Amino acid sequence: MNRREVLKLLGLTVVNLSFGGRHAWAALTGSVEGEAEIIRGTRVMMGNVPVTISAVASDRNQGREAIAAAFGEMHRIENLLSVFLPQSEFSRINAAAGEGPVRVSSETIEIIRRGKEIARLTGGAFDMALGPAISSWDFLGKRHVPTPEEIAALKPLCRSEEISIDETKQEVSLQKKGMSLDPGGIGKGYLAERGKQLLLKNGITSGIIATAGDLVLFGGRPDGTPWRVAIQHPRHRDDKIASIDLTDCAVSTSGDYERFFTKDGVTYHHLLDPKTMLPARECQSVTVISEEGTAADAVATGAFVMGPTRGMALLDGSKNGNGIVIDRNGGVQISDALVERVKLH
Ligand code: ADP
Ligand code: MG
């Protein structure tokens, strides 16, 4: 099958990432004592996000201890940024909207600073201040399509410029009552990045942290070859459209198939265009490969909202990532730096 035929096959839905490939998982079974193997652990975090840590280790106990330490660190970060936890720092900032600054940890400052930076980089397509809009749509609950009047009322409450950070005092404030931060498009990448740091600290030199569609990977497979990351077909969950061998980087996918509902025959998904407060319709999925997880996550969300033309221009030109864009018709675009390395299936 040639490239053109593959592109034609891409009909309608979303992109997701799987990883590892047959070779990597073969190492899970039949391993020889003393040889490196992949040890895995899975937990649910941030409300409903499945997190899987895979660590290559020749000593199983060392592998398990490192994974436990990584989950411990990730829980610590979850306690800062999850809006599902009422005592988290993000929840406290949201509760104080319009009422003045809240003193928070340096990590929370860092995530919000990066969020504002990527809001600028994406021309406002990525926006952490979308909290009120995400609550109104309530994708995980009552699944409501906001009326035009509701959208008009939401707009002035969803502006990144009105998130203020005082780095010296380590304080964050939301300028208007009713504003709220939503970490959904950036937090999983940061979480994965922190997990990696803890694995490294515990002597693991190869591993993958996967927080749903956000991967941070380092080193390679037990046989010394790089990790193989496969990008799933946006419209056929079990099919892969492309794969790429990678090491020491982060890979995030944002897709319209991850979280959605259908009402009166129209499908609505969870990646909102801040200009309209409605789902962004120009892409099926965007995969971003970046040096680091926070940028990969947020840039994937932002580039998805920007659409294939502007999104691809961003991925070709920025230090923040390269990527693969699948447009609304299933057409695939690969950024210049990756063209030679991506294998279309
Ligand atoms: P997922 O892995 O959940 O698909 P994404 O990184 O694609 O994650 O982010 C989706 C989440 O980001 C949404 O569920 C919502 O919480 C938040 N979000 C939606 N639209 C935007 C946007 N334009 N900018 C920033 N965050 C957004
Ligand atoms: Mg994202």
Q: Could you read off the pLDDT of 209-225 as tens digits, one per residue?
A: 999 889 999 999 999 99
Domains in the chain, ordered, with CATH? 89-174 (1.10.3980.10)
Q: Please, are residues 333 and 324 in contact by the beta-carbon 8 Å criterion? A: yes
Write the DSSP string, 10-30.
Answer: --S---EEEESHHHHHHTTSS
CA of 23 to the centre of ligand 1 (A): 32
> What are the tens digits of pLDDT across the range 277-328?
999 999 999 999 999 999 999 999 999 999 999 999 999 987 778 999 999 9
pLDDT of residue 34: 66
The count of other CB atoms within 10 Å of the CB of residue 5 is: 9
Weakly modelled stretches of the chain, pLDDT under 70? 1-34
Which residue, among 255, 99, 100, 262, has the nearest Cα to 171 in the 3D structure?
A: 100
Q: Which residues line ligand 1 (CB under 6 A)?
A: 125-128, 130, 134, 182, 184-185, 212-213, 254, 258-259, 270-272, 274, 297, 300-301, 305
Q: How far is the CA of 296 from the centre of ligand 2 (A)?
A: 7
Query: How confident is the model at residue 33, as a pLDDT?
Result: 55
